[in-house]
Amino acid sequence: MSTKHKLIKLSSPWYGQEEKEAALRVLDSQVTCMGMETKLFEEELKQFLGRDDTNVICVHSGTAALQLALQASNVMVGDEVIVPTLTFVSTFQAVRAVGAMPIPCDVNIKTGFIDINDIERRITKNTKCILPVLYAGIDDNIDEVYQLAKYHNLKVVEDAAHSFGNKEIIKRNGPLCFSFDPIKTLSCTDGGMIVCSDDTIAEKLKDMRLLGVIGDTEKRYNNQRSWDFDVEEQGWRLHMNNLCAAIGRAQLSKFNRIKELRCKYANIYLKELSNIQEIRLFPVNTTTSVPHIFPIGLYSKNSRDELRQYLLDNNIESGIQYKPNHLLTYFNRGYGLINAEFLYYTIISLPLHPMLTEDDVYYIVSKIKEYFKKQ
């Protein structure tokens, strides 16, 4: 009798002794609000990114990073923001959070990255900003986005939630918005970060994350709070607290191991699945980036659903990233976006996280091959 393989999860954080010790250190200190740990995490992140001339602002989530970056870029009620429809709903909700209207845009069918021609079609007199999403860490054509934005005098805010660990993108001035949620390449349990070179925007972001209280960040870093203060604009309670920051610091200290494992597993998929003609691979780059998700494309919805079921029958979870936002009632603008819809019906995300073993990845590959052999 054959024994079933243990359940292989689609995604998972990788918390261990380092994170437990970090959390206990903060709990023992009785200072769990935003403070010294947040300051140190920001400094260590800046060092890790290797850019002295930029700013790192840690916040409550990737969604918060997007919302605040848009607000600091003066995106507001009445403005339109062009967003690729193939993204997590956070990107769209962040635009609504500042009162602007997300305008769904199609994506390139081979890369999942925003389609440059479709951006041009969506530009109106109300367009204020383009919000490209680095889907699966892919940023092909990003230069064209910036050129187009410059030509039309638009802002760019990047959703880099899938891209922590990619040092190439940090060469850009931002705002770049990252997520440190439980399943991202680096996790703080929940958290996010904005990287931006513009000091004026950075100062705004620091106040906005702490309810708009001017200069509160410096006080919090030193475990103080403001009693006599002023507020000049809308702010939110979206800072990162010491507990999350300490866990993030522990994760950063082992990031090389995280990177090694994620890249190794993605490389196995890339090599082993490249000869299966029923599968389309995305141009995931394991030299410059640390993959967060590993989507593959098939050619029909039926085979996609069947393969997903076959994997599940063999105790392998998979995902669909993502349901295009223009198909959601709240964001539907009354037009179709055919590439994103085709991707939605034909993609599968395969398990990718550091809790996997190499054997797990080869087992997943073997089940995919077995499925196609049976067809």
Binding footprint of ligand PLP on the chain (CB under 6 A)? 61-63, 87-88, 90-91, 133, 159, 161-162, 179, 181, 192
- The nearer residue to ligand PLP, 158 or 360, going by C-beta atoms, is 158
Question: At closest approach, how far in Å is the CB of 90 from ligand PLP?
Answer: 3
User: Helix, strand, or coil here: 278?
Assistant: coil
Q: Which is nearer to ligand PLP, 86 or 361 (CB)?
A: 86
Least gap, CB of 342 to ligand PLP (angstroms): 19
**Whether the Cβ atoms of residue 12 and residue 27 lie closer than 8 Å to each other:** no
Interacting residues of 323 by C-beta distance below 8 A, sequence separation 6+: 344
Q: Which is nearer to ligand PLP, 23 or 86 (CB)?
A: 86
**Backbone φ/ψ region at 324: left (φ over 0), alpha (ψ -120 to 50), beta:** beta
Closer Cβ to ligand PLP, 186 or 263, answer by number:
186
Angle value at C-alpha 362, between 351 and 295, nearest 5 degrees: 35
**Closest CB to ligand PLP among residues 54, 63:** 63
Nearer to ligand PLP, 177 or 361 (CB): 177
- Determine contact, residues 109/342, Cβ cutoff 8 Å: yes
Residue nearest to ligand PLP (CB): 62
* Structure-block tokens of residue 11: 């995604």
Tell the smallest beta-carbon distance from residue 343 to ligand PLP (Å).
Answer: 14
Contact between residue 158 and residue 138 where contact means Cβ atoms under 8 Å apart: no
CB of 89 to ligand PLP, least distance (A): 9
Residues 296/279, Cβ–Cβ less than 8 Å:
yes
CB atoms within 10 A of CB 357: 12
Which residue is listed with tokens 């006599």? Answer: 228
Residue 62 beta carbon to ligand PLP: minimum distance, rounded to whole angstroms = 2
**Least distance (Å) between residue 278 CB and ligand PLP:** 27
